[in-house]
Amino acid sequence: MKQFILTSTIYLAIISCSVKENKNVIFADLIVHNAKVAVMDNSRTITEAIAIKDGKVLETGADAEILKLGNGNTKIIDAQGRTLIPGLNDSHLHLTRGGRFYNAELRWDGVKSLKKALQMLKEQAERTPEGQWVRVIGGWSPFQFDEKRFPTPEEINKATGEVPTFVLFLYSRGWLNSAGLKALKIDETSKAPEGGEYEKGADGTLTGVLLAEPNPTILYQSIAGLPPLSEDEMVNSTRQFYRELNSLGITSGIDAGGGGHKFPTDYSGTQLLAEAGEMPIRLSYYLFPQNKGEEYGEFQEWMENNEVGHNGEIHLDHGYELEGGGEFMSWNAGDFENFLAPQPMLEDRQGWRDDFKKIIRLHVDNGWPFRIHATYGETIANMLDVIEEVNLETNGKLASKRWLFDHAETVIEKDLNRIKALNGGIAIQARLAYAGEFFVERYGIDKAKEVPPVRKMMDLGLPVGAGTDGTRVASYNPWPALYWLITGKTVGDFQLAEPSNRLSREEALHLYTLGSAWISDEETVKGTLEKGMFGDFALLSDDYFTIPEEEINKLKSILTVVGGSVVYASEEYASINPKIPEVIPNWSPIIFYGGYQNK
């Protein structure tokens, strides 16, 4: 067992350095030494220690040299040989929405068996008060369970009884128990939203299964019908969610908006933390229009009243800021990623091209960055026709701001070259890690071997960022996403990607750090631990670079630092873990289970 100075659980000291005070020496505020520091610069430097001053990297290097930068005011932490990496940056994570609902949701993320999942459902139903619901809102796959199947409506009803319950699988389908159907006043005569269906059994009665075929409005509508948390509960929920992200090594995230999540009303949990100067994570956000047919007006109003790179009067030095528009630009041009349903085709929709072009032109004319939800290669090809037209009409003005496609699972090489020619980028997510088996069932294993074609993207020199698309169509945990990039395997351990489309551990980590920083135009301030970059890093529970591949799924951070300040600490560093309020309300599933179930 390693021996620690002062106690057996923590080595943390404020020392007086033996180096004579010199006004030409800049002394660090924080030093972490005896580490395996992955700087993630172009040379992929591995060194021993890091020094932080005024929230930025002062130096990295050998222990002996870095410790000379300490004085009586320097906090010095012994990493005990652990691996230290730049803080992870999820380039497509629904942070504000995730925080808004986190305390109300029962997470099946990481649960190993359906039996266990149903037991959690039963226990939560027993403690849920009248007027509230049990809700499992995404982040899981039936293939992660030992049983390799969905729950049945009968199993959900048996577990939950008279407590209204909604279970969501990605944006493909949902289950309402009998009490939930009754609470939402849905019966055999109810008409489902366009593109959705209330499933009926052979006898014509509702089964409780909601089908997105493929439009997810039926699922958005169901979630919107659930009782919200109070403002105090929502702020607390946001704190708890960001603490959960910090515990996984995430120091930054780029919020892609989302359906049923209105700006600025539904951003209040994060907004209040930002106003109080209590953000433990750097958050950039894009604005997602909510009303079909009114998207242009929504974007126009936002552009008149908001400035990219700011958030009203809040200036947090890349801590909480508006980035642009998207990921949906026009609902009429949406291609939904439900691999349990046929692929939607833009050619089948009247007016999509005019709607889409008008909105892209609005962004270009106003100098607003934008990101576009596009799952399928056919969609991307059609959209590129329009984007190229706008670029010509504006004399190349398109490239003056960042723009990108999100997802791009089946994009082809020809269109990757078109994106590159227009100075665009791509943000890829681990959606196939949670729905890959269904993709193979519909499109075949050969097509799945290069979905998305991340190796081709990188070989072409395209800017690429990585993320999860949590919290609904995937878990927010970045480590299964990194595992998927490295191994090509789903959370059910099904082999998707062929060897040529898999990444090394260094390449995957690059996409989750500097690659993602490009998405929000921040690659000059974060993403590596080079001198002058933000002091954002995570000290890991095990060595990411050498542990067996399957162990990557279990990694976590035991010390997370943002801007030189500790935002999360556990194990031997637990005594310096910043305190946050206890979880509310008292029936919250987070109290009883936590978030990601990595046990």
Burial class (CB in 10 A: 0-12, 13-18, 19+), 56: middle
Coil vs helix vs strand at 562: strand
pLDDT beyond 70 at 306: yes
Cross-strand partners of 176: 166
The closest alpha carbon to 214, from 193, 191, 196, 192, belongs to: 196
Coil vs helix vs strand at 90: strand
- Name the residue type at position 155: E
pLDDT beyond 70 at 265: yes
534 DSSP assignment: B
Dihedral sign (CA 552, 556, 559, 560): positive
- Name the residue type at position 371: R
Q: DSSP letters along 372-436, please?
A: EEE-SHHHHHHHHHHHHHHHHHTTTGGGGS-EEEEE-TT--HHHHHHHHHTT-EEEEETTHHHHH
User: Length of the chain, please?
Assistant: 599
pLDDT beyond 70 at 11: no
Dihedral sign (CA 392, 398, 400, 405): negative
Cross-strand partners of 76: 13, 31
Residues 6 or more apart whose CB falls under 8 angstroms from that of 371 comprise 256, 286, 324, 325, 326, 327, 403, 404, 405, 406, 427, 519
Angle at 238 between CA 140 and CA 583, to 5 degrees: 90
Coil vs helix vs strand at 570: coil
Give percent of the chain above pLDDT 70: 95
Give percent of the chain above pLDDT 90: 85
Do the beta carbons of residue 451 and residue 496 sit within 8 Å? yes
CA distances from 342 to 297, 330, 335, 339, 383 (A): 31, 20, 11, 7, 20
CA 237 to CA 95: how far, in whole Å? 11
Cross-strand partners of 404: 371, 425
Burial class (CB in 10 A: 0-12, 13-18, 19+), 381: middle
pLDDT beyond 80 at 79: yes
CA 368 to CA 371: how far, in whole Å? 10
pLDDT beyond 60 at 1: no
519-576 pLDDT per residue, tens: 999 999 999 999 999 999 999 999 999 999 999 999 999 999 999 999 999 999 999 9
Q: How confident is the model at residue 23 (pLDDT cuts 50, 70, 90)?
A: low
CA 90 to CA 478: how far, in whole Å? 8
29-74 pLDDT per residue, tens: 999 999 999 999 999 999 999 999 999 999 999 999 999 999 999 9
The closest alpha carbon to 270, from 312, 304, 307, 303, belongs to: 312
Q: How confident is the model at residue 216 (pLDDT cuts 50, 70, 90)?
A: confident
Whole-number pLDDT of residue 12? 41
Alpha helices by DSSP H, listed for 497-544, are: 505-511, 514-519
CA 328 to CA 406: how far, in whole Å? 10
- Out of 20-34, 36-50, 373-387, 573-587, pick the least confident: 20-34
278-302 pLDDT per residue, tens: 999 999 999 999 988 999 999 999 9
Mean pLDDT of the region 492-496: 96
Across the chain, mean pLDDT equals 92
Statement: the pTM of the whole predicted model exceeds 0.75: yes
Whole-number pLDDT of residue 400? 79
Domains of the chain: which residue ranges? Answer: 95-228
Torsion region of 366: left, alpha or beta (phi above 0 gives left; psi -120 to 50 gives alpha): alpha
Whole-number pLDDT of residue 342? 85
Buried b (16+ CB within 10 A) or exposed e, 530-544: beebbbbbbbbbbeb
Q: How confident is the model at residue 313 (pLDDT cuts 50, 70, 90)?
A: low
The closest alpha carbon to 363, from 381, 386, 382, belongs to: 386
Tell me which of 22 and 551 has the higher pLDDT.
Answer: 551
β-pair type (425-429, 403-407): parallel
Q: 264: cis peptide before it, omega within 30°? A: yes
Whole-number pLDDT of residue 9? 35
pLDDT beyond 70 at 335: yes
